[in-house]
Amino acid sequence: MIVGLYFGSFNPIHNGHINIAKEILKKTDINNIWIILSPNSPSKSSLLDKNIRYRLMEMAFIGVEGISISNIEFNMPQPNYTYKTLKKIKKEFPGKEFKIIMGQDNYENINSWREYQYITDNYEIVVYPRDKKNNNSKFSEIFNVSSSQIRNNIRSKMSIDGLVPKNIEEEIHANKYYIK
C-alpha cells in the first residue's frame, strides 16, 4: 500500500485541495492520502487556529474514501519542518511506502526548504501542475484556486461560492473566519 502525504496549512481548505487529492487517488498508484495539517508554517503568518482548520478539513472530506486528516504535527516542536515530520512518520510506520504530494509552485521552491535533500533523496514527489502551460503530466484538470484568494474575497465581501464546499462556506460565514 502506498500512502500519499499531502502537507499544508490549509488556511482554508478549498475545492482545489479536495479535487487534487481525489484526482491523485484516481490517476496514480497512491492508495490512501494522509492530509497533514501544519499548525504553523515557517513561511506564513496569521493562520486561523489549527483546531478550527482541522475541523474544516474533516468537514470537507466527510464521506470521501481513501483520505484521512492528520494532526501529527500538532505536538511537534514549532516551528516544524517537513523533513522532521517525514522522519517521525517513517519511524512510526516503518512498513508503509510514502510519497509526497505537492503543487508545482511548492516543488519549484523546494530547494529553499530546510533539509530539502533529505526529502528529495528519500521520497518520490508527485507534483500537481498549477497551470496549463506546465501540464505535461497525467493530470487533466487544473484547479486554479488559492487559500489567499479565498481569504481576500472574504475580507472584500466577495463571494467564495464554488471555491470551497458549501458546508465550509457556511461555517466560515457563520463564525466570521478570515474577516480581519
CATH architecture of residue range(s) 2-144: 3-Layer(aba) Sandwich (3.40)
Q: Does position 44 have pLDDT exceeding 90, yes or no?
A: no
What pLDDT score was predicted for residue 133?
A: 62
Which residues in 163-179 are b (16+ Cβ under 10 Å) and which e? bbbeebbebbeeeebbe
User: Given a cut of 60, is residue 75 above it in pLDDT?
Assistant: yes
Predicted local distance difference test score (pLDDT) of residue 137:
65
Whether 48 has a pLDDT exceeding 60, the answer reads: yes
More confident residue, 79 or 111: 111
> pLDDT at residue 82 above 90?
yes
Distances 40 to 54, 115, 130, 152, 158 between C-alpha atoms, Å: 12, 18, 23, 20, 27
Q: What is the mean pLDDT of residues 113-121?
A: 95
Q: What is the mean pLDDT of residues 12-18?
A: 95
What is the rounded average pLDDT of the residues 112-127? 95
Q: Which amino acid, residue 3? A: V
pLDDT surpassing 90 at residue 130: no
- Backbone φ and ψ of 176, nearest 5°: 60, 40
pLDDT of residue 180: 82
pLDDT of residue 134: 55
The cell for 96 is 508503509
